[in-house]
Structure 1
Amino acid sequence: MPLPDSQFQAAFVRSIFFQPFVRALDKHYGISLSDIGVPRKLLEEPMTLVPFSDLNQKMEQLEQLIGNPAYLCKMAKDISFDNMDKLGQWFLSTPELALTFRRINYGTSCLQSGATFHGELSGKIIKWTYDNHFSSGRGRLQDSLRMAIMFTNTLRYFMGGNYHPLTVELSGPPCGNGELEQFFGADIRWNAPLTRVWLDISVLEHENTFPFELSRPMMLTNLELDEFLNMPQPHDAAKMMYEMINYSRFYGYPSLDFVADKFGLSRQQLQRRLHHFGWSFSSITSYVLCNQAIKYMQADLSISEIAKELGYKNVQSFSKAFQRQRGQTPTQYKEKLQERSRQKPN
């Protein structure tokens, strides 16, 4: 059934969540996502929200480029939470596997929307489950593999490199000529509706053998924490539109056609949905870019750098747009920000 004119449909994944995939791809194949059209700047901002449909498409494209549907197998040992820098260490720095298991299941809600991460209990077996209705086509197999590998590597982080799950269920057709069965050390059930890694419930009691500090700060900046917690949900049309426009700026100044395509809509359908909320594309774009400009000011980028990052043709165009939104020029606004930051509390 078509969506009502008031709704949007999309899921997002943070750049940092596929950071292990990106690093492993470069390490084992010498390929970067910028080689297949992903702006480098997008990958340099770890909290950036990327439409999952784009990641799905890129994983399909990489399968064709490499010529191997099981290309993740070669990368598998490096696709792990500990390759996610500080956030990855937060997931793993617990006294025992059970706490990390739970932390991943609830913490990933801020890393990826439109998907669930949970455990299904069946007697003495826990099925670590990933359910993503937004994956499709050949990308569905690669996405299923990505998460089954991350789950398995998490188990091996606690249990040792020789640990193997009881069974693995993957959402896609058989591939790999036995390589994937060898990596998991388990039978694989192909074409499964959900991604599941089966383990005996007793292993959740296994303690962490790596040194860690319970009180060690994660060291997220205020801006990073704000971005981390801000994950739009499918029912929140305003946030969905905001984040899709914010994403589109990495490809140049946001356009109606670009955003409509990312939502899987025609230009006219998107305009009708915007009209339902009393929005115009130009006004909401100006609002989004103004807010992003302020974040860049807080990161101390110059006004000319900010104008370039936001896709404006020149500084003058950016200054006029910003002044219409905030009643001040970008230079005036940044100076006031810096002045407030220098003020010390009494």
Structure 2
Amino acid sequence: MHISPAVAGTDRSVSAAFVDSVLPDLLAHYRLQRATVLEQAGIDGAVFNDPGRLLPLLDVMRLFLVILEACGDPGLGFETGRRVRPRSYQVLGYVILASRDLDEAIERLMRFEKLSGNLGRTERHDEGDQVRLCWRCPVAGEPGRMLTEAAITGWVTFMRPLMPPGAAPAEVCFRHPPPADAARYRDWFQAPVRFNADFDGVRLPAALLRHSLESADPGLGRMMEKEAGALLADFDAHGNLLSRVRSAIYRRLGSGDPSVDAVAAELGLTVRTLQSRLQRQGLAYQEVLDGLRRSLAELYLRDPALNLTEIALLLGFAESSSFSRAFRRWRGESPVSWRRRLPRPDPSG
């Protein structure tokens, strides 16, 4: 799976709560050790201590790249979605659970989905006796396929216990080509699964949307909706700061000027305000800069067309020796030795 470094230039993110909720079962399924996977991905497990934290998409994709290289399962996104639980979505999940029916649940999903991460976008289209629910993924290629399968499978996993016994989508659709083991998908969804479709999402019988949810709780729903609204307002005003800072740094790395002064000015903040807001998240600016450089370095080192000098310049270092010293500090070995241990690239990826 090839991850474009340009992902670092976006403010896309995924909630730490979502990743942390699916990770234990997923790693157990593939017989992988959590500490080893996190270390290989360069992720500090402490980030999961704050469920409300948003993880930059680049870091999440690198984590799943490590898992994919270890398990070799092209259905990793599908298997991730199967392990979604209500707590995966935190407040969003509980406000959906308290909804009157599936119709209200979908409306709340669309209104508050940013709370589970600033990633894709859900759209609803009413088509006579069916409703088409689409998910717009902002990432292309194999990473987009994985994210899309995780999102759509997660929808069905989350809602299945709330629907009448035997109820299922009228159709599950993916725009990408079918995998070799498409039967695995049909067996689990218990519904027709169409690949090479013209949209990513599900078709639902319109009548199903009027079915009362067993977990419906109007009082709790109003309370959770109020909390979700407050969180969404805070997100729009101040949230996703880490991803926005990293995005600004990424755009300045090539010019060699990722200074805190330049980034603060681009974000319309004073240096003191930026540092204060980062500090409230337990971060320092240099830590954010080093983290982004490390993530990008490991992506660039996977590209055999780039030599160390070119990588150093892409990361905003004046010379390759500065990059090598930094990489030794991050990984405890030289970038050359780290690169030698990489799996051979998959020509199809």
Question: TM-score, normalized by length of structure 1?
Answer: 0.64
* 1:342 corresponding residue in structure 2: none
* 1:132 corresponding residue in structure 2: 137
- Using a 3 Å threshold, how does the CA distance of structure 1 residues 170 and 81 change in structure 2: closer, same or farther? farther
**Deviations 1:162-185 (CA, angstroms, capped at 9, x unpaired):** 332111112433225111121112
Letter in 2 for 1:39: D
Q: Secondary structure at the match of 1:231?
A: helix
* 1:146 corresponding residue in structure 2: 150
Match of 2:103 among 98, 103, 117: 98
Per-residue deviation, 1:103: 0.8
* 2:84 corresponding residue in structure 1: 79
Per-residue deviation, 1:86: 4.8
CA RMSD, 1 decimal: 4.0
* 1:157 corresponding residue in structure 2: 161
- Using a 3 Å threshold, how does the CA distance of structure 1 residues 172 and 76 change in structure 2: closer, same or farther? same
Letter in 2 for 1:62: I
Match of 1:208 among 209, 213, 227: 213
- Using a 3 Å threshold, how does the CA distance of structure 1 residues 20 and 176 change in structure 2: closer, same or farther? farther
Question: TM-score, normalized by length of structure 2?
Answer: 0.63
- Whether the aligned pair in 1 keeps the contact of 2:81 and 2:151 (CA below 8 Å) is no
Per-residue deviation, 1:312: 7.9
**Deviations 1:188-233 (CA, angstroms, capped at 9, x unpaired):** 2224464211111110011112364624755999xx9876543359
**Deviations 1:236-258 (CA, angstroms, capped at 9, x unpaired):** xx977x43376x6xxxxxxxxx9
- Using a 3 Å threshold, how does the CA distance of structure 1 residues 84 and 176 change in structure 2: closer, same or farther? farther
Letter in 2 for 1:95: R
* 1:44 corresponding residue in structure 2: 49
- Using a 3 Å threshold, how does the CA distance of structure 1 residues 23 and 87 change in structure 2: closer, same or farther? farther
Listed as ranges, the gaps of 5+ residues in structure 1 are 1-7, 249-257, 297-305, 314-346
1:268 aligns with 2:255: yes
Per-residue deviation, 1:20: 3.4
- Whether the aligned pair in 2 keeps the contact of 1:56 and 1:139 (CA below 8 Å) is yes
Letter in 1 for 2:122: F
* 1:244 corresponding residue in structure 2: 243
Listed as ranges, the gaps of 5+ residues in structure 2 are 1-8, 288-349
* 2:26 corresponding residue in structure 1: 25
- Whether the aligned pair in 1 keeps the contact of 2:17 and 2:52 (CA below 8 Å) is yes
Q: Matches of 1:91 and 1:282 in 2, distance apart?
A: 36
Q: Matches of 2:225 and 2:267 in 1, distance apart?
A: 39
Q: Matches of 1:104 and 1:270 in 2, distance apart?
A: 40
- Whether the aligned pair in 2 keeps the contact of 1:82 and 1:92 (CA below 8 Å) is no
**Aligned residue pair count:** 273
- Using a 3 Å threshold, how does the CA distance of structure 1 residues 61 and 230 change in structure 2: closer, same or farther? farther
Letter in 1 for 2:25: A
Q: Matches of 1:288 and 1:226 in 2, distance apart?
A: 22
Per-residue deviation, 1:98: 1.1
Q: Matches of 2:44 and 2:205 in 1, distance apart?
A: 42
Q: Matches of 1:310 and 1:276 in 2, distance apart?
A: 13
* 1:181 corresponding residue in structure 2: 186
- Whether the aligned pair in 2 keeps the contact of 1:15 and 1:49 (CA below 8 Å) is yes
Per-residue deviation, 1:59: 2.9
Q: Matches of 1:117 and 1:27 in 2, distance apart?
A: 30
* 1:88 corresponding residue in structure 2: 93
Q: Matches of 2:285 and 2:89 in 1, distance apart?
A: 29
Identity among equivalent pairs (%): 13
Q: Matches of 2:17 and 2:71 in 1, distance apart?
A: 23
- Using a 3 Å threshold, how does the CA distance of structure 1 residues 28 and 160 change in structure 2: closer, same or farther? farther
